[in-house]
Amino acid sequence: MRANPVTETQLNIRTAGDDSSGEPAQRNGHLRVYLPPQALQGQDLPFFALWKAVTFRKIEVLFPSELEIDEIYNVARNEYTVEPGQLIVEKVEVDGYLGISFSSRRFRTTSEQVCVVSDFHEASGEVYSRRCNIHLFRPLLAAKEIPRSIRVSVSRCQPLDFIQVANEGTGTIRMVVISEEDSDLRITESAAMSDFRKNLRRDLDTGFADLAGAFPEQADLVEKLKEVWLRRVDLEDEEELVRVKSVAGSLQDAIVNDEKFGRALAETFAGALLKNLTLFNLLEQLVDYFHSVPAKKVLMINPLDIIEVGPKPAVLKVKLLYTDLANGHYEPVHVLTRLVAKRRCSLPVYRLLQWGRGG
C-alpha cells in the first residue's frame, strides 16, 4: 500500500470522470463521494471524495473484508492508519480531495453486493456519512451435460449430440478450446483459416507501414500492434495477457487523443478484413458461430478450429480455458467424450458446444 500526493491533473481527470459518467455520486452541497456501481471480482476499484468550503478534522472509511487498500492519494504516510476493514485519515495534503484504490478478492459466489461507508467529521462535531454500494461479479463456465458419445452427421459435418455448457455467472467469458495431450483427436487450425491469417497479416503489414508513415508519432504503437495482432493469445500465459492488455490500453488512449489516427486505423483493419473474408469464404461460418452464442456473453478465440473425425470412433479429451475481460484466470473445464462418424469430415469446434442459460 502506498500513499501518493495528488496532482492537479489527477484531480481534474477524476472529477471529469465523475461528471461525464452519469454515475450517481452522492452529494450534500459541498461533498461528493464516488465508487463505481459495479465491477469484476478481482478488479481494482477507484474511490474518491471531493468537497469544498469545509475542512474535515477526520475521515473514516469502513469497507468489507473482501476489499483491501492498495493506494491512498493526497494523504501523507503519517496522517492515516489502516486496520482490517477501516481507514482513518487525520489530514489530507491538499484540502478538498481524498482518493483510494481498492483491490477486490474473488468471492465464492459469482455475484455479491458490498458497501463502503465513509464518515466525514467536522470540527464542530457534525458528521456527514456516505454509503456507496457496489455489485461485484464474475463469470463461471460450467459443463452441464457431456454425452459419452457424440454422433456426427457427415453430410453436413454436424453433431447430433452436444456438450451442454453455460455461463452460470455474470460477465463475459473469453475462452479457447484445446485438446489434451492424451486425446486421440486433435484440435487444429484449418487450412482455410491458416491461409486467411497469412494473407490478412500481409495486407495489414502493408497498411501498418502506411499508418506509421502518415502518423510518425504513433510509429512505436503501430509496431507493437504488429507484434500482437493475429497472434493467438495463450490464456495460460499471464505475462502475454498483461502485454496485450497494455497495448490495448495504449491504443485506446491514442484513438481518444487523435481522431484522425483512429479513423485511419479502423479503415486499415476493415479493408484488410473484408477483402480476405470474401476471399476465403469464412463469413458464413462466423455468422453461424455468432448465432450459436446469442446473448450468452461468450467470446471464443478459436471457434473455427477443426477436429478431423471418422471413419472410426475416437476419444476426444479437451479443456476449456477461460478468463474474464480483466484477464482473471479460472479453473479450466475438462471434457471427455467420444466422436462417432461413418466417414471422415472436418468438424468446427464451436459446433460441439450448445450454450444454455446459466443458473
pLDDT digits over 116-165, tens only? 999 999 989 999 999 999 999 999 999 999 999 999 998 888 999 999 99
Provide CB contacts within 8 A for 311, sequence distance 6+.
Answer: 341, 342, 343, 344
Helices of type H across the chain: 8-21, 191-214, 219-228, 238-257, 259-280, 283-292
Q: Which amino acid is at 57?
A: R
Q: What is the pTM of this model?
A: 0.78
Question: Mean pLDDT across the chain, nearest whole number?
Answer: 87
Can you tell me the distance from the alpha carbon of 142 to that of 359, in angstroms, rounded to the nearest whole number? 10
Residue stretches of the chain with pLDDT short of 50: 2, 4-28
Closest CA to 132 of 15, 17, 37, 32: 37
Q: Give the pLDDT score at 285.
A: 77
> Per the structure block, which three cell numbers stand in for 309?
473425425
DSSP 179-238: E-TT-SS-EE--HHHHHHHHHHHHHHHHHHHHHHHH-GGGHHHHHHHHHHTTPPP-TT-H
Strands 333-340 and 150-153: parallel
Q: Give the pLDDT score at 296.
A: 65
CA angle centred on 250, ends 245 and 254, rounded to 5°: 145
Can you tell me the distance from the alpha carbon of 190 to that of 198, in angstroms, rounded to the nearest whole number? 12
Q: Give the pLDDT score at 192.
A: 86
Q: Give the pLDDT score at 359.
A: 52
DSSP 77: G
Can you tell me the distance from the alpha carbon of 83 to that of 81, in angstroms, rounded to the nearest whole number? 7
Could you give the 3-state DSSP secondary structure of residue 288? helix
DSSP 3-state percent helix, strand, coil across the chain (nearest 5): 30, 35, 35
Residue with cell 483459416: 193
Q: Give the pLDDT score at 58.
A: 96
Q: Specify whether the CB–CB gap between 24 and 132 falls below 8 A.
A: no
Q: Give the pLDDT score at 24.
A: 38
Closest CA to 294 of 344, 354, 245: 354
Can you tell me the distance from the alpha carbon of 110 to that of 169, in angstroms, rounded to the nearest whole number? 5
Q: Domains (ranges, CATH) in the chain?
A: 2-137 (2.60.40.740), 141-188+293-356 (no CATH), 193-280 (no CATH)
